[in-house]
Amino acid sequence: MSQAEPKGFFRLVVPYNASDTVSGVMDFRLTDDQELLRRSVREFAETEIRPHVVEWDNAQHFPIELVPKLAALGLMGIQCPEEYGGAGMSAIDYCICIEELSRVDPSVSLSVAAHNGLCSSHLLMFGNDAQKREYLVPLARGEKIGAWGLTESSSGSDAAGMRTTATRAGSRWVLNGSKTFTTHGRVGDTLVAMAITDRAAGSKGISAFILQKGTPGLTPGRKEDKLGMRASETSEVLFDNCAVPEDQMLGDEGHGFVDAMQVLDAGRIGIAALAVGLAQGAYEAALRYSQERRAFGKTISQFQAIQWKLADNATRIEAARLLTYRAAYMKDRHRRMTLESAMAKLYASEIAVKAADDCVQIHGGYGFVKDYPAEKFFRDVKLTTIGEGTSEIQRLVIARELLAR
Ligand SMILES: Cc1cc2nc3c(=O)[nH]c(=O)nc-3n(C[C@H](O)[C@H](O)[C@H](O)COP(=O)(O)OP(=O)(O)OC[C@H]3O[C@@H](n4cnc5c(N)ncnc54)[C@H](O)[C@@H]3O)c2cc1C
């Protein structure tokens, strides 16, 4: 990670005296480069994704054909440094990319977020140089697709209650068990999976491993048939005496769970950005429709009841975006942001649910059918209050952080 102070959003401009914080002003503008990035990703999403959204959703098709195009824009290695094949962008740049994909198709955005923000991020944060060169570089270049397995059928929120084990056998570790709800569990080439290496040590007895598709004993399980986010593939992963060399342990032995929690602190900024982008897409669809649909001799946008919905959603989206960019700003400066990322994820996901609900309501009966994008936003959005920690878990994290101060 670059140690240089990134420029851009939340630049603190202090015009008179650097020690005089009262005279300092916050500059909330994006840089010209960030504006350009937003325009580029928006144009890409409109031309390469928008025409296929309904088809991919209906067929529950993971668009593997899109991956080289995502890679050409740097979207498969957004925050990965250039020396490891990535685009070397900042956390705020990352939010812009995720938002713009989500505004058009939240499920493509979820796949990009899981690849970048879970699998690649874990390798970047805790891998050694050799592991980064071997496993991270092809992920960042989009030559391989990443997956990350923490959740099991009997342990989601209580992730440390996992059952998958890794037992030492000479110079190898042998994994047995299974993961559930793994994004890219079937299409993924590289999987980072957590397993118990010392049951007596509880959460400090969990380690992370890098697994490659095709390793004997590693098989994809059932693909989930989902309510929403249907173009993002989610499946089980099974380990049956799956042996990996010891140099495929990622991070220190017994640190896998603690490291995973840090990965999630950062990953949640991505889910917050995904929720902001989804809310933005739903809001724009509702605004557009309200200016077209006529009732009682006027467009429905002329009714105050509709205007208030639009005003409330636009305001909440801006607030969520600010919370999200603040968490990203702190990440860019290598500051601890457990509290800020949980707040951003909680708020952004819950206001996105409201934005999608209002989008359906403003569309009336047309919000309930597949001819308009409203019903898809309504289905997709629910994942944002569940994935990478439910809203209840975000509140628990926030309260724990507040009480510890
Ligand atoms: C589409 C999709 C993609 C996913 N991708 C991945 C992935 O790539 N990798 C991965 O590892 N996981 C992934 N997940 C799993 C996801 O992170 C979990 O589903 C989530 O953390 C919740 O766990 P759970 O489903 O076991 O629910 P549970 O933990 O069983 O929770 C059920 C309910 O109980 C509540 N609850 C639980 N504990 C508490 C508590 N202490 N206090 C208050 N309420 C509580 C929860 O908030 C929830 O409302 C994915 C899930 C989905 C749906």
Encoding tokens for residue 204? 């400090």
Q: Report how far residue 349's alpha carbon sits from residue 333's, in angstroms, rounded to the nearest whole number.
A: 24
DSSP β-bridge partners for residue 208: 194, 250
For residue range 76-87, what is the model confidence (pLDDT) as tens digits? 999 999 999 999
What is the identity of the amino acid at 275? Answer: A
- Give the residue among 103, 385, 346 at the shortest CA–CA distance from 227: 385
Over residues 223-238, the pLDDT tens digits come to 999 999 999 999 999 9
Task: Identify the pLDDT of residue 6.
Answer: 53
Is 284 catalytic? The answer is no
Closest CA to ligand 1's atom 38: 157
Read off the pLDDT of residues 15-41 as tens digits, 9 standing for 90 and up: 444 444 444 567 888 999 999 999 999
Nearest-CA residue for atom 32 of ligand 1: 157
| Rounded distance from Cα 182 to ligand 1 centre (Å) | 12
Pull the structure tokens for residue 1.
């990670």
Which residue's CA is the nearest one to ligand 1's atom 44? 392
Total Cβ atoms within 10 A of residue 336: 12
pLDDT at 26: 77
- Nearest residue (CA) to ligand 1, atom 43: 392
pLDDT at 9: 62
Q: How far is CA 354 from CA 65, 122, 313, 394, 395, in A?
A: 33, 32, 8, 18, 18
Pocket lining: 181 vs ligand 1, CB cutoff 6 Å = yes
* C-alpha to C-alpha distance for 348 and 156, rounded to whole angstroms: 21
The number of residues in the chain equals 405
Contact of 119 with 80, CB cutoff 8 Å = no
* CA contacts within 13 A on the Cβ side of 246: 9
Percent of the chain with pLDDT over 90: 93
What parts of the chain have a pLDDT lower than 70? 1-25
Pick the atom of ligand 1 nearest to 157's CA.
Answer: 29
pLDDT for 7: 55
Identify the pLDDT of residue 120. Answer: 98
* Pocket lining: 160 vs ligand 1, CB cutoff 6 Å: no
Name which of 95, 121, 79, 125 is nearest 10 in CA terms.
Answer: 95
Catalytic site residue from 224, 388, 392, 401: 388
234 lines ligand 1 (CB under 6 A): yes
Amino acid at 172: R
pLDDT in tens, 369-387: 999 999 999 999 999 999 9
Q: 383 CB under 6 A from ligand 1? A: yes
**Is the distance from the beta carbon of residue 209 to the nearest atom of ligand 1 less than 6 Å?**
no
Intra-chain end-to-end CA distance of the chain, in Å: 29
- CA angle at 42 for the pair 37 and 46, rounded to the nearest 5°: 155
Alpha carbon distance 269, 92 (integer Å): 9
Q: Which of 229, 386, 398 to mutate to test the pocket of ligand 1 (most atoms within 8 A of CB)?
A: 386
Ligand 1 centroid from CA 381, angstroms? 15
Nearest CA to ligand 1 atom 11: 150
To the nearest whole percent, how much of the chain has pLDDT over 70?
94
Neighbouring C-alpha atoms within 13 Å toward the C-beta of 18: 0
Shortest-distance atom of ligand 1 to CA 118: 8
Which residue among 180, 388, 390, 400 has the greatest number of ligand 1 atoms within 8 angstroms of its CB, and so is best to mutate?
A: 390
Decide whether any atom of ligand 1 lies within 6 Å of the 313 Cβ. Answer: no
Cβ-based neighbours of 95, under 8 Å, separated by 6 or more: 269, 270, 272, 273, 276, 324, 325, 328
pLDDT for 19 equals 47
Q: Which pLDDT does position 27 carry in this prediction?
A: 80
The answer, yes or no, to whether any atom of ligand 1 lies below 6 A from the CB of 151, is yes
Distance CA 2, CA 6 (A): 9
Q: Which of 148, 157, 226, 345 to mutate to test the pocket of ligand 1 (most atoms within 8 A of CB)?
A: 157
**How many CA atoms within 13 Å lie on the side-chain side of 58?**
8
Closest ligand 1 atom to 150 CA: 11
Q: Does the beta carbon of 156 lie inside 6 Å of ligand 1?
A: yes
229 Cβ below 6 A of ligand 1:
yes
Residue 302 DSSP code: G
DSSP bridge pairs for 169: 172
pLDDT at 3: 45
Distance CA(61)–CA(212), nearest Å, equals: 23
pLDDT tens column, 3-13: 444 555 655 54
